[in-house]
Amino acid sequence: IVQKIGSRRRITIRMIGQIVPGYEDYASGILEGLKSLGVEIILNRSAIEVSALLSHARIALLPFPDGMSLRRGSALAAMGNGSLLVTRVPANRSNEFTGICLMAHDSTELCDLTTKALDNYEIYNTIRLSGQHLARSLSQESIASSYLHLIEHV
């Protein structure tokens, strides 16, 4: 995905994450491959730093192995910050995320969807705004506000 998208556009691609203890050797090969493609590697940052980095991302590629779900805090944070989320189809094949993020079954489809969104601002912006609206509606602040509203009007 990085090779296909990065080769046809002038964009900055960052890999943000952590290496699970015991998987350093496995991660080392992946990281070297990403570096050779010009990917900026950002590891082991605090939640605040990651949030700040994601707030500047135009697209967040988060290919969760079991797909998107509302329990994915990083996905909700990225969408809430206004990024277009590109991810995998949920394991349960649910359609509840259609129109709020781009979902695919495999890396080829993820690449095609991402390229299409980068080439068509209307597609990009419509889905991005829908995702942002959903994520912000699920924020702790909006949930607390709804709860207070309910208590005040009972």
Q: Convert the pLDDT of each residue in 8-27 to its tens digit.
A: 667 788 888 888 899 899 89
pTM of the model: 0.75
Instruction: Kindly tell me the burial class for residue 149, based on how many C-beta atoms sit within 10 Å of its own C-beta (0-12, 13-18, 19 or more).
Output: exposed
Between helices 47-54 and 73-80, what is the axis angle to 10°? 40
Percent of the chain having pLDDT more than 90?
A: 23
Amino acid 142: pLDDT:
63
User: Using the 8-state DSSP alphabet, how is residue 106 labeled?
Assistant: S
Amino acid 84: pLDDT:
93
Q: Say how far apart CA 36 and CA 34 lie, in whole Å.
A: 5
More confident residue, 154 or 107: 107
β-pair partners for 86 = 61, 102
Tokens of 111: 């690449």
Amino acid 146: pLDDT:
64
